[in-house]
Amino acid sequence: MELVLLVILVAVSFAGGAVVTSVGPGGIFVVAALYGFTALPAAVVAGTSSVTFIGGSVLGAAGYVYSDDMDWGMALLIGIGGAVGTQLGVLLNGAVSRRSFGVLLGVLLGTVGATILLRERGDLDRLPTEALDVAPTSGAGVVVFGTIGLLVGAAGGLFGIGGAALVPPALVVVGVSMITALAVTQVAVVFIASASAVSYTLQGSVAVPLVFAIAAGYLLGALGGWRVAKRVDPDRLTTALGVLLIGSMPVLVYRSLLL
């Protein structure tokens, strides 16, 4: 791999880690960069990305545990469900072409971008969620949070995204506060990314030399990159993130269709 390309991938990973710890989902940029800037097969893109996200999620989970915002019952239900759903996602990854992977990833980018903008406007918080509010210890809670984990895990296994972009809006819809949703997401990503990483590693679908470089960039971004991000108005930064994701959708879809 050319040095310039490696530097770009590490820089994107650093930025992704900084975004994760400051305003929202950033790992999805790592997946998009690996797909868009390299010729790696879809399985290697997903596998390499999955390994990358484990360390940052462990750090994020530790931070929310320290601040006493973690709901362990909910986190474990979603995490275990996600680990199971991941296996379905890995199977789906093997069934789609690289072109289809790119188109689906582009659609996901746009969906996540729209969700970020809705959350920034407060529209998610205004949803009538009271009737759906369930406790993790109830039978309904096991079904609801386990199902969320299964679905997010399937997406995580397919794309190697970990689930940080999908868990918070899903939890807000069922009445979970945003701070708890963000805390639970960190544990869920540890489960989902680890399960994906193991599956793809066993397939030989992890770019070992590359993963060390981008994982280091992502971890450094998660540790200290947020200080750079905090120098910008967080509202503007979040809005810019959403717009960038939405704008990336047609580019990625168009590029994929040209393959």
For 186-197, how does the pLDDT look when each residue is reduced to its tens digit (9 = 90+)? 899 999 999 999
- Confidence band of 118 (pLDDT split at 50, 70, 90): confident
240 vs 222: CA distance, rounded Å: 19
What pLDDT digit, counting tens, does each position of 74-116 carry?
999 999 999 999 999 999 999 999 999 999 999 988 888 888 7
* Contact criterion met (CB below 8 Å) for 57 and 193: yes
Residue with tokens 């704008």: 247
Average pLDDT, integer, range 7-17 = 90
pTM comes to 0.85
124 vs 53: CA distance, rounded Å: 26
Name the token pair of 114: 């729209």
Average pLDDT, the chain: 85
Q: Which of 149, 222, 221 is nearest to 191 (CA)?
A: 149
Cα angle at 48 between 43 and 54, to 5 degrees?
A: 130
100 vs 123: CA distance, rounded Å: 31
- The number of beta carbons lying within 10 Å of the beta carbon of residue 67 is 10
45 vs 181: CA distance, rounded Å: 27
Domain boundaries along the sequence of the chain = 3-257
